[in-house]
């Protein structure tokens, strides 16, 4: 077992990276004086990982199986994991995203017991024909609930407009038809491929020590042989599929998602991510001229937001919110980006955005769940958390401008959900 220590004198923080004998990668960031502890364990198996290579050959599994597997792991032969967490007082949850599945808890006491429940949960699958069939009705109801969510529909309509082939355009939970194809055998295939401890990571932040975490891991985790698995994704053109999509929905105010599709050969490194964050703050935060123009014209309200949306084989910038005239709002956003590309970024605005981005990132270190999630996300995207903070400090106007010039506003799609 190897333990590495990472220290940032500037941030006055340090964390430990442990290569556990079982194969699990563990990150621990102690927070002196904190009462709570947050732990999250994840695997890079999300909704997009429906085709993969094993030693035995290529495997294709039904859409929604990662989310289905997340649900099933909470069941075991000796009871439901949530009932066990209730005894420790921990607040537990799990989620499946496009590119990973994570299980987590937050507690103020009985940390070791809660961590043991978490580790037992992800290392003891129990799938039978009966239990798998029972879950289809539960998840079927969840799928219908998402179909009735305008925010969910506007996003997946956008992804369907931007992406020709990539499975990121498929609903995370799958469809009623696809989950009907899930069997205990297909669940075990996915579990054995992606839930191998060598593919997973555990991040713990808060009122805890490295020794606390290792003690529980030593007790509940056995050494595993490494499982080789490689996800397969179809060829995806750079160009969007269609520029506009609209769905009629019973909403009081129309909602929109505008996406700028980017090149996605790989994930952005710490330096590129830092420059993107600064750029988006400059152009779209509540202090930007674009935001003020949209607000002054009554085209957006406080729901307006933006995000960098990326994963294996996909990358985009997405703006979203409510608007009385989504088409006009999208027109102004695209025109503003093109205007700044032509005129160049203002150096003072850049320095202000750089400080604000660093300040926001710095304040996030006060949240145990935010830090733990960052450690988890950065590990799977092959980034290091302290390097990201250094990249913000060292960001330059020239490199930020280079990032802006890579954004083609013509390669964009607008998704609108509105009433009759």
Q: What whole-number distance in Å separates Cα of residue 218 and Cα of residue 116? A: 10
How far apart are alpha carbons 49 and 59 in whole angstroms?
A: 10
Here the tokens at position 46 are 């999300």
Q: For residue range 58-99, what is the model confidence (pLDDT) as tens digits?
A: 999 999 999 999 999 998 777 789 999 999 999 999 999 999
- Which pLDDT score, from 0 to 100, does residue 187 have? 96
User: Is 223 in the active site?
Assistant: no
* Residue spans of alpha helices (H) in 58-110: 65-73, 81-88
Question: So what's the pLDDT on residue 86?
Answer: 93
Distance CA 194, CA 231 (A): 10
Is there a contact between 364 and 374 (Cβ–Cβ < 8 Å)? yes
Give me the sheet containing 25-30, strands edge to edge. 2-8, 13-19, 25-30, 201-206, 37-43, 101-107, 91-96
- Burial of 343 by CB count in 10 Å (0-12 exposed, 13-18 middle, 19+ buried)? exposed
pLDDT at res. 156: 98
- As averages over each run of 10 residues, the pLDDT of the chain (420 residues) reads 93 96 97 96 98 91 97 85 93 97 97 97 92 89 93 98 98 96 96 96 97 96 91 96 97 97 89 97 96 97 97 96 98 98 96 97 96 97 96 97 96 95
**Helix H or strand E segment including 188:** helix 184-194
- Residues with Cβ < 8 Å from 387, sequence gap 6 or more? 270
- Quote the pLDDT of residue 195: 97
Structure confidence at residue 75 (pLDDT): 85
**345 closest CA partner among 289, 411, 397, 285:** 397
CA atoms within a 13 Å half-sphere pointing along the CA-CB vector of 204: 26
Catalytic hit among 70, 75, 135, 310: 70
Contact by Cβ (8 Å): 176, 143: yes
CA dist., res. 400 & res. 347, Å (int): 11
Q: Name the token pair of 99.
A: 């590119």
Distance separating alpha carbons of residues 162 and 259, to the nearest angstrom: 8
Burial classification of residue 348, based on how many CB atoms lie within 10 Å of its CB (0-12 exposed, 13-18 middle, 19 or more buried): exposed
Q: Decide if 94 contacts 104 (C-beta within 8 A).
A: yes
100 contacts: CB under 8 Å, gap ≥ 6: 42, 43, 44, 45, 46, 376, 380
CA atoms within 13 A on the CB side of 69: 36
Quote the mean pLDDT of the chain: 95
pLDDT at residue 227 in the model: 87
Question: How far apart, in whole angstroms, are the C-alpha atoms of residue 98 and residue 182?
Answer: 18
Whether 372 contacts 205, CB under 8 Å: yes
DSSP state at residue 266: S
Dihedral of alpha carbons 411, 417, 419, 420, sign? positive
pLDDT computed for residue 78 by the predictor: 77
Q: What DSSP element (H or E) covers 412?
A: strand 412-418
415, with CB counted inside 10 A (0-12, 13-18, 19+), is buried
Q: Which domains does the chain have, with CATH numbers?
A: 2-231 (3.30.830.10), 244-418 (3.30.830.10)
Residue 141 corresponds to which tokens in the numbers above? 């109801």
């Amino acid at each position: 077992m190897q333990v590495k220590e990472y220290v940032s004198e500037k941030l006055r923080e340090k964390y430990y990276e442990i290569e556990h004998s079982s194969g699990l990668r563990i990150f621990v960031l102690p927070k002196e004086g904190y009462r709570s502890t947050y732990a999250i364990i994840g695997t890079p198996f999300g909704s997009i990982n429906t085709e993969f290579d094993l030693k035995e050959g290529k495997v294709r599994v039904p859409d929604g199986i990662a989310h289905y597997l997340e649900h099933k792991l909470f069941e075991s032969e000796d009871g439901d994991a949530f009932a066990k967490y209730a005894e420790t007082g921990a607040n537990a949850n799990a989620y499946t995203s496009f590119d990973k599945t994570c299980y987590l808890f937050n507690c103020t006491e009985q940390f070791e017991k809660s961590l043991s429940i978490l580790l037992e949960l992800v290392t003891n699958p129990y799938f039978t024909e009966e239990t798998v069939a029972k879950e289809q009705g539960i998840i079927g109801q969840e799928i219908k609930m998402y179909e009735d969510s305008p925010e969910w529909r506007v996003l997946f309509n956008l992804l369907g407009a931007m992406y020709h082939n990539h499975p990121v355009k498929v609903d995370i939970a799958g469809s009623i038809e696809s989950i009907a194809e899930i069997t205990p055998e297909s669940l075990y295939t996915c579990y054995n491929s992606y839930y191998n401890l060598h593919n997973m990571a555990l991040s713990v932040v808060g009122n805890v020590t490295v020794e606390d975490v290792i003690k529980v891991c030593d007790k509940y985790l056995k050494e595993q042989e490494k499982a080789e698995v490689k996800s397969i994704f179809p060829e995806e053109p750079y160009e969007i599929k269609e520029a506009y999509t609209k769905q009629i929905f019973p909403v009081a105010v129309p909602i929109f998602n505008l996406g700028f599709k980017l090149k996605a050969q790989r994930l952005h490194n710490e330096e590129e991510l830092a420059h993107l964050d600064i750029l988006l703050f400059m152009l779209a935060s509540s202090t930007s001229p674009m935001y003020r123009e949209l607000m002054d014209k009554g085209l957006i309200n406080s729901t307006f937001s933006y995000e960098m949306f990326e994963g294996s084989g996909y990358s985009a910038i997405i703006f979203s919110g409510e608007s009385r005239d989504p088409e006009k709002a999208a027109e102004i956003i695209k025109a503003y980006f093109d205007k700044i590309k032509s005129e160049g970024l203002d150096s003072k605005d850049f320095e202000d955005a750089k400080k604000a981005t660093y300040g926001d990132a710095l304040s996030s270190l006060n949240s145990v769940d935010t830090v733990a999630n960052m450690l988890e996300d950065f590990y799977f995207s092959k980034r290091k958390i302290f390097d990201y903070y250094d990249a913000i400090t060292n960001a330059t106007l020239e490199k930020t401008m280079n990032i802006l010039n890579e954004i083609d506003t013509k390669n964009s799609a607008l998704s609108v959900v509105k009433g009759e």
